[in-house]
Structure 1
């Protein structure tokens, strides 16, 4: 159940971050309200996931995959440029998440 909570937390966080961009600096009501709702859901789900994981592992997965997914949203939805430096940096984040998972294995 922990993985389900963690994946849902990541998706809610990515949706909340996307809402930040869509809110246009809190000038659009719907996305502005969505930011707070989605981040609230993300933190509740992350808290539930922490019952199953070490905090270092859960937070690394949550943050790392969140960064990777929001970068993908930026490139695909907001037409942000994808450079070799961005790809390399994302791969380093993924490597860090994998390393923390392997280091936390029992």
Structure 2
């Protein structure tokens, strides 16, 4: 179970870092730039710990799928990014894919 918590930390810190990337203005603003570097460092470290027990394909699919959804919501809240119907449908497919991987896949956790 702790490896899934590491994966959750990896996802959340990657979302924070990616959100700060836009605010960093090409790394010209110090605080957002620090958040980017520290966030990605924590994210990759947590992901490396998660991969000790979760298969890399599953971990990456969950990481990227949930990350896409969270980044999209964050961009909507922080930056006013709007999505059209097709974008929402595509994100819905990503969510369904992550659910299928976790509920129906027979890939074993080590």
TM-score by length of 2: 0.89
After TM superposition, the runs of 4+ consecutive aligned structure 1 residues lying more than 4 A away are: none
Tell me what 1:19 maps to.
20
Consecutive unaligned residues in structure 2, runs of 5 or more: none
Matched residue, 1:94: 95
| 1:34-53 → structure 2 map (5 Å cutoff) | 34-53=35-54
When residues 45 and 2 of structure 1 are mapped into structure 2, their CA distance, relative to the original with a 3 A threshold, is same
Report the number of matched residues.
106
Quick check: 87-96 or 40-49, which moved more? 87-96
* Structure 1 unaligned blocks of 5 or more: none
Distance in structure 2 (CA, Å) of the matches to 1:95 and 1:42: 24
TM-score normalised over the length of structure 1: 0.92
Q: Partners in 1 of 2:86 and 2:27 — Cα distance? A: 31
